[in-house]
Amino acid sequence: MMTTGLKMFVLFMAAFAIMIVSAPAFIPLLRRLKFGQTIRQEGPESHLVKNGTPTMGGIMIIVAFCIPAAFIIGKYEEAIAPCAMTLLFGIVGFLDDFIKVKKKSSGGLKAWQKMGLQILFTGLVIAYMYWFSDISLAIKIPFAYGMEFNLGWLVIPFDFLVIIGTDNGANFTDGLDGLLSKVTLVILGFLLLVAFKENSGLIYPIIIMMGALLGFLVFNCHPAKVFMGDTGSLAIGGFVALCAIELKVPVFLLIIAFVYVAEVGSVMLQVSYFKLTHGKRIFKMAPIHHHFEKSGWKETKVVSIFTIATAILCAIGVIALYV
């Protein structure tokens, strides 16, 4: 029987290897199918050269995740909901991306369609967790060691907010080469530590996702050979949210995933302020990573700073676990 460490290594390397082996064949296929990204004209000028770069690379992330996960999902109840959410939200992202590439535009699903599907799938997964599983939905409070709250039925709307918010935060974060992959790898490192602390079966799906993302980063770092698209970003956001909920640390996402929060928050603020003031803006461009680009930062600098900030915030999150 394999030890925990050996099993983690095998699963990590399996996901990583699947990505490394499949990408050189899959990326040219995306080119032949003309599944290229359409870049918004109002975006940073430096991004115009990315027009036509293959997108929907998130399919590779989902495949590299699902194949190793299939060997452990039946053994650990905790793995069921995060794996299901990854696949379901990946389907939403795929539909969004497919419409974009067919229309050759940056607009995919209508907002109400995208949100409607997210709400539907979130409801299905939460219903399973709340009524058909033995998973605790208690909530740990940062900087209150050992303190947990049980919200009762109120956990349902709370978890809805966490999942939808985290998922859209991840979606908006995916706008620069390697940004979402790097930031999420750091966040997953924190969640892996919590999973170890709780002796949770989530250590295995988390390590699998880390392997898949690290493999994808080989092809997604600047200059990116492929984009993950909404297929990848929505799947990743759903996975992170579900892992945080099951590990009782959804409130910690405000700390460790502050980049997600800032990205989606900047869009909400920009749109609201624009409507209230009839055309004025808070940021030069939203999501906020584009604001920094418009302010003169190079893309690689924005990615590095956001990743470093996430690492620092995750360190604070670790402290918040034990204080």
pLDDT digits (tens, 9 = 90+) for 32-87: 888 877 666 566 666 666 777 888 999 999 999 999 999 999 899 999 999 999 99
The token pair at 296 is 């003169």
Range of the domain at 131: 4-322
* Predicted model pTM: 0.95
Per-residue pLDDT tens digits for 120-144: 999 999 999 999 999 999 999 999 9
What span, in angstroms and rounded, lies between the C-alpha atoms of 300 and 289? 11
Element (H, E) at 139: strand 139-140
Per-residue pLDDT at 150: 92
Per-residue pLDDT tens digits for 134-191: 999 999 999 998 889 899 999 999 999 999 999 999 999 998 999 999 999 999 999 9
Q: 171, 285, 173: which is closest to 235 by C-alpha?
A: 171
Per-residue pLDDT tens digits for 230-249: 999 999 999 999 999 999 99
**Considering its fold, how many domains does the chain have in total?**
1
Per-residue pLDDT tens digits for 189-223: 999 999 999 999 999 999 999 999 999 999 999 89
What are phi and psi for residue 315, nearest 5 degrees?
Answer: -65, -40
Tell me the average pLDDT across 303-312: 98
The token pair at 10 is 């095998």
What span, in angstroms and rounded, lies between the C-alpha atoms of 212 and 214? 6
Look-up: residue for tokens 């699947």?
Answer: 18
Q: 129, 193, 192, 134: which is closest to 162 by C-alpha?
A: 129
What span, in angstroms and rounded, lies between the C-alpha atoms of 244 and 175? 23
Per-residue pLDDT at 278: 87
User: What region does 248 belong to: left with phi over 0, alpha with psi -120 to 50, or beta?
Assistant: left
Low-confidence winner among 49-53, 95-99, 318-322 (lowest mean pLDDT) = 49-53
Cβ atoms of residues 82 and 242 within 8 Å: yes
